[in-house]
């Protein structure tokens, strides 16, 4: 177990807290979804309430290692102040840890909160450069990482800084680790993994890692067609990763040897073209026409997947079942989201597209945990060590 803010005395200390404030913004630079800021509030309030001077840091967008006003965290500071109902001091310097920032951090009193400028204004951040890590560390006495979304990156503010300060997790990070950790190490059974999305290549390490952990694997989305091809089916113009056919065949064989139920679509919705307006029809998975593409799972498959999900003790879902962004091909993903809501077990949605889909459908209420980290949750499930977690004290 990694230590959390509860395990360390923060009273009278300066705490450097890495958050994931990488919020979406509209064309005028206004925040269009402040969920990530809200997600950090419990830890910020805990620290300030326990006598810490709180120095917050995050990245925003991809400023490519140099200052860019478009990616300034000023909008985040303003929203944060509104949400907290108290002042958030914001210091914007191109060098991020410049003299003004240092002075403000040094003068910050217990219970006060400041935000420093976008750490990716410095190119050293993503290089995990030791001297920038030290500069960040010099602002504080303790490092708190609450940014699960960037925990798979070894950057100065996510991992490097921990070489110089006692390091613990925040509450959001703790929650993410608990849900994914429990799923992998101590799942209520049957344990089902629902996998979709476009690229099968991205999901192969994940499937390999799950082969000795899960009871069922459910496959949908664009990645399903490479599996169907491996079974010798005609898949028309559907997504195919030719060079992965052999590997998918292997995975299905290993799943069989391990006694894992491996569910593939039994029917699919095929269209003439990749467009919501394209004419489309339902076909059995082994009877797809050569000139059409599969863009969603069919109604029989929806039912089959729903039953498998609802009867599970633990479900982890990563990747949409079809092109959910297009209304006509969203029914499969919607059915999986509904089944996740209906399941009485622990249901976990990996971040990224599946989380976006669940929100788009307004089906968040009865899901145990919707992760804030797409890439990070994927790497965690692949069995990889996340640098932003590994660097924390045991
Ligand atoms: P990924 O980035 O690999 O998680 O894939 C997510 C994307 O896969 C979403 O934008 C979906 O629209 C897309 N997708 C899902 N099913 C299909 C499909 N059958 N054909 C093409 N794209 C798909």
Ligand 1 proximity of 57 Cβ (cutoff 6 Å): no
Indicate if 2 belongs to the active site: no
Question: What's the mean per-residue pLDDT of the chain?
Answer: 97
Ligand 1 proximity of 322 Cβ (cutoff 6 Å): yes
Sheet containing 314-318: order of strands: 261-263, 216-219, 191-195, 314-318, 346-349, 369-370
Ligand 1 proximity of 236 Cβ (cutoff 6 Å): no
C-alpha 285 – ligand 1 centre gap (Å): 18
Q: Which residues contact 194 (CB under 8 A, 6 or more apart)?
A: 218, 220, 305, 309, 315, 316, 317, 318, 319, 336
Indicate if 98 belongs to the active site: no
Determine the 3-state secondary structure of 154 from DSSP.
coil
This model's pTM is above 0.85: yes
Query: Which one from 170, 350, 351, 352 is the annotated catalytic residue?
Result: 352
In the chain, pLDDT over 70 holds for what percent of residues?
Answer: 100
Question: At 158, is the pLDDT very low, low, confident or very high (cuts 50, 70, 90)?
Answer: very high
Atom of ligand 1 nearest to the CA of 323: 12
State how far the Cα of 137 lies from the Cα of 147, in Å rounded to an integer. 17
Structure tokens at 280: 């489309």
- pLDDT digit string (tens) for 194-209? 999 999 999 999 999 9
Ligand 1 proximity of 375 Cβ (cutoff 6 Å): no
Ligand 1 proximity of 239 Cβ (cutoff 6 Å): yes
Please determine whether the domains at 5-173 and 187-381 fall in the same fold group of CATH. yes
State how far the Cα of 288 lies from the Cα of 285, in Å rounded to an integer. 6
166 closest CA partner among 139, 137, 143, 132: 143
In the chain, beta strands by DSSP E:
14-18, 53-57, 89-91, 113-116, 142-145, 167-169, 191-195, 216-219, 261-263, 267-271, 280-284, 293-297, 314-318, 346-349, 369-370
Atom of ligand 1 nearest to the CA of 324: 12
Question: Average pLDDT for residues 292-321, to the nearest whole number?
Answer: 98
Find how far residue 99's CA is from the centre of its chain. Answer: 35
Question: At 328, is the pLDDT very low, low, confident or very high (cuts 50, 70, 90)?
Answer: very high
Question: Average pLDDT for residues 28-56, to the nearest whole number?
Answer: 96
Nearest CA to ligand 1 atom 10: 323
Ligand 1 proximity of 199 Cβ (cutoff 6 Å): yes
Question: Average pLDDT for residues 311-339, to the nearest whole number?
Answer: 98
| Sign of the dihedral defined by the CA atoms of residues 36, 39, 40, 45, in that order | positive
Query: Which one from 18, 36, 216, 292 is the annotated catalytic residue?
Result: 36
* Range in 43-52, 282-291, 307-316, 366-375 the model is least confident about: 366-375
Structure tokens at 177: 């680790």
Q: Supply the angle between the helices 299-310 and 331-342 in degrees, to the nearest 10.
A: 20
When the candidates are 3.40.630.30, 3.40.50.1260, 1.10.3720.10, 2.160.20.10, the CATH number that belongs to 5-173 is 3.40.50.1260
Question: At 44, is the pLDDT very low, low, confident or very high (cuts 50, 70, 90)?
Answer: very high
When the candidates are 3.20.20.140, 3.50.50.60, 3.40.50.1260, 3.40.109.10, the CATH number that belongs to 187-381 is 3.40.50.1260
In the chain, pLDDT over 90 holds for what percent of residues?
Answer: 98
C-alpha 239 – ligand 1 centre gap (Å): 9
Break the chain into its structural domains and give their ranges.
5-173, 187-381
Atom of ligand 1 nearest to the CA of 352: 4
What pLDDT does residue 351 have?
76
Terminal CA-CA length for the chain:
6
C-alpha 192 – ligand 1 centre gap (Å): 20
Question: At 129, is the pLDDT very low, low, confident or very high (cuts 50, 70, 90)?
Answer: very high
Ligand 1 proximity of 197 Cβ (cutoff 6 Å): yes
Indicate if 352 belongs to the active site: yes
- pLDDT digit string (tens) for 209-265? 999 999 999 999 999 999 999 999 999 999 999 999 999 999 999 999 999 999 999
Indicate if 199 belongs to the active site: yes
C-alpha 64 – ligand 1 centre gap (Å): 27
């Amino acid at each position: 177990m990694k230590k959390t803010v509860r395990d360390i005395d923060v009273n009278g200390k300066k705490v450097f807290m890495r958050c994931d404030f990488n919020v979406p913004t509209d064309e005028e630079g206004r925040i269009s979804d402040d969920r990530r800021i809200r997600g950090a509030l419990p830890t910020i309030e805990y620290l300030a309430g326990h006598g810490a001077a709180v120095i917050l840091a995050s990245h925003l967008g991809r400023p490519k290692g140099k200052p860019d006003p478009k990616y300034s965290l000023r909008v985040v500071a303003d929203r944060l102040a509104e949400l907290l109902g108290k002042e958030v001091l914001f210091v914007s310097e191109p060098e991020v840890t410049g003299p003004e920032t240092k002075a403000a951090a040094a003068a910050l009193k217990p219970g006060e909160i400041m935000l420093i400028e976008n750490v990716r204004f410095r190119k050293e951040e993503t290089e995990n450069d030791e001297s920038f890590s030290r500069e960040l560390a010099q602002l504080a006495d303790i490092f708190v990482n609450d940014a699960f979304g960037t925990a798979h990156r070894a950057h100065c503010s996510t991992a490097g800084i921990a070489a110089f300060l006692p390091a613990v997790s925040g509450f959001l990070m703790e929650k993410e680790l608990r849900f994914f950790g429990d799923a992998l190490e101590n799942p209520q059974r049957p344990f089902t993994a629902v996998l979709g999305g476009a690229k099968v290549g991205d999901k192969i390490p994940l499937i390999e890692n799950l082969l000795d952990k899960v009871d069922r694997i459910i496959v949908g989305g664009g990645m399903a067609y490479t599996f169907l091809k491996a079974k010798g089916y005609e898949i028309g113009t559907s997504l195919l990763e030719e060079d992965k056919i052999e590997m998918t065949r292997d995975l299905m064989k290993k799943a069989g040897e391990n006694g894992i139920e491996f569910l593939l679509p039994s029917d699919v919705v095929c269209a003439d073209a990749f467009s919501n307006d394209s004419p489309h029809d339902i076909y059995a998975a082994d009877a797809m026409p050569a000139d059409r593409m599969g863009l969603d799972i069919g109604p029989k498959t929806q039912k089959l997947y729903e039953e498998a999900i609802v009867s599970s003790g633990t479900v982890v879902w990563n990747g949409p079942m079809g092109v959910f962004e297009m209304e006509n091909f969203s029914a499969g993903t919607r059915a999986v989201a509904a089944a996740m809501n209906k399941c009485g077990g622990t249901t976990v949605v990996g971040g990224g597209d599946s989380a976006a889909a669940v929100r788009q459908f307004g089906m968040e209420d009865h899901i145990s945990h919707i992760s804030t980290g797409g890439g990070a949750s994927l790497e965690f499930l692949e069995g990889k060590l996340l640098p932003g977690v590994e660097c924390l004290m045991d």
